[in-house]
Amino acid sequence: MEKKIIATTSLAGCFGCHMSILDIDERILDLIELVEFNKSPVDDIKTFTKPVDIGIVEGGCCNSENVEVLRSFRKNCKILISLGECAIMGGLPALRNGIPIEECLREAYLEGPTVGLNTTKILPNDDELPMLLDKVYPCHEVVKVDYYLPGCPPRADLIWDALVALITGNELALPYEVVKFD
């Protein structure tokens, strides 16, 4: 069987979902037999070098760069998966939704208890920096997403089972313990 190509990225996430990917432990050796990683922090490839079968996205979109990366994933990947709470719902970063951006920036850079070092009192505005979005968007509100793997982070077994199912074309078993809410 030809190896499937995989790409992964972390947008507005904490890399916890990626840690959970690594949590498949020694099965990562089996995974390497099944897939080849392309653009991903796992192998540190920065740009897409070939068409990808499965793209895995951690985190939602909080800035323009997230949107650009997500759009490039959609363009280069046949199948796109939202991995984890932040990609699916916006997650913790989305707590800022509903608070005016000005208030968030003021708190973060001018008035919060930890801003003592910002002696120049400027809000970051360099053209090199990504632009903040009006709110944090889950991935599927920006591009089409094919599959969702919930969890914060999703359990390693779930990630493993889902990948194996996708790669082998078998149906994913979803027993009650996996889909229950609490």
Partner 1 sequence: MKDRIFKIISKYNGDSSRLMDILHDIQDTEGYIAGDIMGLLADLLSLSAAQVEETVSFYHFYSDKPRAKVNIYLNDSVTANMFGRAEVLKAFEDACGISEGEVSEDGQLGLFSTSCIGMNDQEPAALINDKVFTRLTPYRVSQIIADLKSGKSLDEITVESCGDGKNALPEVNATVYNNIRRKGALLNNDYPFYSVVRDMLPNISSEEIIDIVSESNIRGRGGAGFPTGLKWKFGSKARGERRFIICNADEGEPGTFKDRVLLTEYPEMVFEGMAVAGYAVGADLGLLYLRYEYKYLLNYLNGILDNMRKNNYLGTNVAGIEDFNFDIRIQLGAGAYICGEESALIESLEGKRGEPRDKPPFPVEKGYLNLPTIVNNVETLATVVKIVKNGADWFNKLGNKDSVGTKVLSISGDCRFPGIYEVEWGMTISEVLAMCGATEVQAIQVGGPSGALIGKKDFGRELSYSDLPTGGSMIVFNNSRNLLREVVLNFTNFFIEESCGSCSTCRNMPYVLREKLLKILNGRGVKQDVEDILQWAKVLNVSRCGLGQTAANPIVSSIRNFRHLYDALVQKEVDYDSGFDLESSVLESCKVVGRQPIFHHH
| Residues 108-127 within binding reach of partner 1 (CB under 8 A) | 123-127
Q: Residues 28-33: contacts with CB within 8 Å, 24+ apart?
A: 31/160, 31/163
* Residue selected from 33, 144, 176, 180 as contacting partner 1 according to rule CB under 8 A: 144
How far apart are CB 40 and partner 1 at their closest, in Å?
A: 20
Q: Which stretch binds partner 1 (CB under 8 A): 4-12, 26-34, 91-99, 135-143?
A: 135-143
| Residues 19-78 within binding reach of partner 1 (CB under 8 A) | 64, 67-68, 71-72
* Residue selected from 34, 92, 105, 165 as contacting partner 1 according to rule CB under 8 A: 105
133 lies in the binding site for partner 1 (CB under 8 A): yes
141 lies in the binding site for partner 1 (CB under 8 A): yes
Measured CA to CA, the distance from residue 88 to residue 13 in angstroms comes to: 11
**DSSP letters of 31-52?**
HHHHEEE-SBTTTTB-S--S-E
b/e sequence 154-174, b meaning 16+ C-beta within 10 Å = bebebbbbbbeebbeeeeeee
The answer to whether residues 156 and 87 touch, using CB atoms and an 8 Å cutoff, is no
Residues that bind partner 1 (CB under 8 A): 64, 67-68, 71-72, 101-102, 105, 123-127, 131-135, 137, 140-144
